[in-house]
Amino acid sequence: MVIHFHCNRKEEKKTHIDNVIMFIYLFTIFVLILVLLYKLADQNFTRTLAFNSDEHTPVYTSDESSSSSSDLVCVFGWVGSTRRQLRRLLEFYAENRIPTISWINPMHNYIFDIDPNHIEQLAHLLLDKSQHVKRIFLHLHSNNGTLTFGHLFVFIQKHDKYRVLHDKIHGIIFDSAPFVVHKKTSRWLLGTAIGNSRAAVSILLNRAQYFHFFWTPLIIFYLLIRFIFKRYFSSDNLLAEEKIRQFLTIMPIHVKQLFIYSQGDRLIPPKIIGRKKCLY
């Protein structure tokens, strides 16, 4: 009896050790799969949504008829937009003899923070091309355009060399107004990741499709990891929407604002904008 009981104890101990080894083995495989998926998402996200010189360099557009204009319009594109998509708007200003400075902030920088060098380059171009301009107007597309102007406005305020631009700002056009949550509302990081994944998937697929059975969950997983790290392990823990809210509160109050939005907007429905305009 004693020998039999002792043998059972040894077998139970061996079974327990085998179970622990199996758990460690499966857990290691699971972690490796997650790491590989993260690397896959990061590679495609960076390759497709990061800076490229063709689309993300500030461009000044003018001709002989607009060179003497007293006005200048800065056009800042939405997330994932291209110069081809901004062409009709830029042509509209050109037809009305108004020079423009256009820039598209890449989505990678929208989500993980704008490069200060890009803002300085933009401010330098604006200062150089507005020497004989009396009025500057901002045409901002959605969240990305508003975030770009927010960083630019803060940069202008901090550097004496560029403060002359402040008094020349006479109007802001919110073309598809930015969506921000109420300051008393706390959005889950998962909700923010899901929201940003829609535009990211559309850019990855290069078409107006905001869900994909493979890319959507992968991008949500990737963004969630990045947001958790930014929120809890970064000195700058504010996400893009939170920065936009801050920028909206410091924009010059004497400047007129015009809101343009479409009933067919699938990313930011007009009913949301109607509820949020009071926040601006």
The Cα-based distances of 84 to 55, 77, 80, 87, 216 in angstroms read 9, 11, 12, 5, 26
Q: What is the pLDDT of residues 212-262, one digit of tens each?
A: 999 999 999 999 999 999 999 888 888 888 898 888 888 877 788 888 877
pLDDT of 278 reads 47
- Helix (H) / strand (E) element for 73: namely strand 71-76
Q: In this predicted structure, what is the pLDDT of residue 274?
A: 56
DSSP state of 178: P
Query: How many Cβ atoms are within 10 Å of 171's Cβ, its own excluded?
Result: 15
In the prediction, which pLDDT does 214 show? 94
Going residue by residue through the chain (280 aa), what tens digit of pLDDT does each one get?
A: 545 555 666 666 667 787 888 889 999 999 999 999 999 999 998 888 887 777 889 999 998 766 678 999 999 999 888 899 999 999 999 999 999 999 999 999 999 888 899 999 999 999 999 998 999 999 999 899 999 999 999 999 999 999 999 989 999 999 887 766 655 444 688 888 998 999 899 888 888 888 999 999 999 999 999 999 999 988 888 888 889 888 888 887 778 888 887 776 666 666 666 555 544 4
Tokens 């495989």 sit on residue: 29
Of the chain, the end-to-end C-alpha distance in Å amounts to: 82
Helical segments of 213-263, H only:
215-233, 240-250
CB 222 within 8 A of CB 38: yes
According to the model, what pLDDT value does residue 279 have?
Answer: 46
Strand ranges (E), the chain: 59-61, 71-76, 100-103, 135-141, 169-175, 256-260
Backbone angles phi, psi at 18, to 5 degrees: -65, -40
Tokens of 123: 């401010």
